[in-house]
Chain A
Amino acid sequence: MIPRSVRFALSGISWPVYVLLYTPLALVAYYSFAPAPNSVGHSLHAYNVLLHDGDVFVALRRSLILAFGSAIVSTALGTLLGYGLCRFRKRNAKGFLAHMPSLIIYTPIIMPSLVFGISELIFFNFVHGATGLLAAGLGTMIIAHITFQVPYVALTVFARLSGLDPYLFEASYDLYANGLKSFFYLVVPVVQPAIIGGFLLGITLSIDDFTISFFTSGPGSVTLPIYIYGAIARKGISPEINALGTLMISTIIVMALAHFFITRQRERADQLAARGNVS
């Protein structure tokens, strides 16, 4: 398809781009092994300092609570949402009301995260001023993170369900399954990969986010990204910050690669099994 000479040129451009994509991240790792004070050569000094920094561990705990807490709720809400829209919405319905769900679902995706974050900041501020509830902190951060994750989970589940034979549902009703039974015995197993995918996507989005967290956080809810941002703003990049960055980068890379190879292996096994059944 692509001539040899062009392929050669494509490789010549692309490999340097791959290298460039990882150079900044590699430099973060490189500088994290800075020498200890009054000594030369690479060392694990920065990691040692990090290990004894209580604030970092508190921030890490908050980040994990934020990621898992928000992803669990958004997976539940998003799965129901995707399922409901796929199954119970009238097809080809016209008018504003029929388009409302799509409009609502796409707003969090389209809205710039800065506008998202500031809207929440003002809203929580007003609600807190009026009722004393929802003081800025980990709780408001979790609410905001749920809000931007729900559409992604819903879209993932919706995509999986809409590829499904609609007669499956009718078959389940013919076998006297009621709505709940049909949901738990048919829908959940079938969309399970999408639910797990949506959950992981939610966690990834939560870990990736800084802007929305920044505007919804309070003084007592510093998470890892906010901690790093604050440290850089105060005293620039230090070996400890690089060590923390290195740990965050490598965790994500290891988890992503593990997920990739595990799902690929499972897909291959499924394909083999399917082939075995046919023959």
Chain B
Amino acid sequence: MSTAVTQIDAAAHRQRLRLLATSGPGLFWIMLFLLIPSAILLGIAFFSADDYGNPVLPLSLQPFQQVAGYSLLGWDAGNINIFLRSLEQAGIATIVSAAVSYPLVFFILSRPEGIRPLLLLFIVLPSWTNQVVRTYAWLELLGPNAPLTWVAHALHIVPPDLGLAPGSFAVTTGLAYNYLPYMIVPLYASAEKLDWTLVEAGRDLYASGVKLFWHAVFPQTLPGLLSGVIFVAIPAFGDYVVPQLLGGDRALMIGSLIANQFTETPDWPYGAALTIIMLVFTGLGLVGFRILTRKLGGAEEATI
């Protein structure tokens, strides 16, 4: 009896050793080179800044006051505006990509099965080119002397000496373009599993096209849509490349504001405090959507 127990113990011990030997190195790598560094970054937010922007003692909450807009010159709404603008840009980009994704996904599903993967590939392909290249490419279309800007000039949407880029419109377009595949792929996955008998049943009951979509199709694709919203909104909110290349000074977003505290005008504690606020927003969004997904009965994907 006791030898059996020790044998089981030994087996469990061996199992644990094997787990450590195989998954240990990878997990250790991520802990050392990401978890510890990000913990340091977050910790820096609670220090004071010296003249060079480096963190020094004493501990202080001043960086957070700076985030809220307080400085030696009094209160300023600049940061709050940047936050709101980032939320707005990410929000519009998410809505645009969802609005484009629905027709695209059902268009692909309406094609013969053999060419669907190819149609999907051509959606995803631009996102495999480099971030900088596919973002600056939009300047060729939206810049001061570019085709779409001529159209905008002719329609008197944009003053004659300016282009569509740099500006908010270009940033929203760039974000939607960059993250469209992240909306399409989960939406496609849930639309592919659609139970069409529900649609047929609705049709038999003389439901109109709009009603059919709203009551029979939309609820079934909701889990995919919600995953897509998370995959688009979160990276778009904190994006760095797009506002940097397409935004200019008039469309500053939170990402550029944070980056500036570590590059151009260093103030590490302030930058770290901004990062914390951004992560809190991101985290709240993530948790909110998870709760929403569960409430709406979204299927949990298989996870590690």
* A-to-B contact residues, CB < 8 Å: 1-3, 6-7, 9-11, 13-14, 17-18, 21-25, 27-28, 31, 77-78, 80-81, 83-85, 87-90, 100-102, 104-108, 110-116, 118-123, 126, 143-144, 146-147, 150-151, 154-155, 158-159, 162, 179, 204, 207-211, 215, 224-225, 228-229, 232, 237, 241-242, 245, 248-249, 252-253, 256-257, 260, 264
Contacts and interface: CB of A to CB of B under 8 A. Distances in A.
B15 A28 contact: no
Give the secondary structure class of A's interface: helix
Nearest to A245: B133
29 contacts: A6-B106, A14-B108, A18-B122, A28-B137, A78-B26, A84-B19, A85-B19, A87-B18, A88-B18, A88-B22, A89-B19, A102-B303, A104-B31, A108-B34, A114-B258, A120-B34, A122-B41, A144-B33, A147-B33, A159-B302, A162-B302, A208-B129, A208-B130, A237-B140, A248-B129, A253-B125, A253-B129, A256-B125, A256-B128
Interface of B: 15-16, 18-19, 21-27, 29-31, 33-38, 40-41, 44, 100, 103-104, 106-110, 117-118, 121-123, 125-134, 136-141, 143, 147, 177, 180, 196, 199, 209, 234-235, 237-241, 245, 255, 258-259, 262, 268, 271, 275, 278-279, 282, 286, 302-304
B303 A10 contact: no
Contacts of B147: 27
Given A23-B141, A123-B37, A126-B40, A85 B304 contact: yes
Nearest to B237: A112
A6 B29 contact: no
A115 B30 contact: no
A177 to B, nearest CB: 14
Contacts, number: 246
B133 A122 contact: no
Contacts of A264: 117
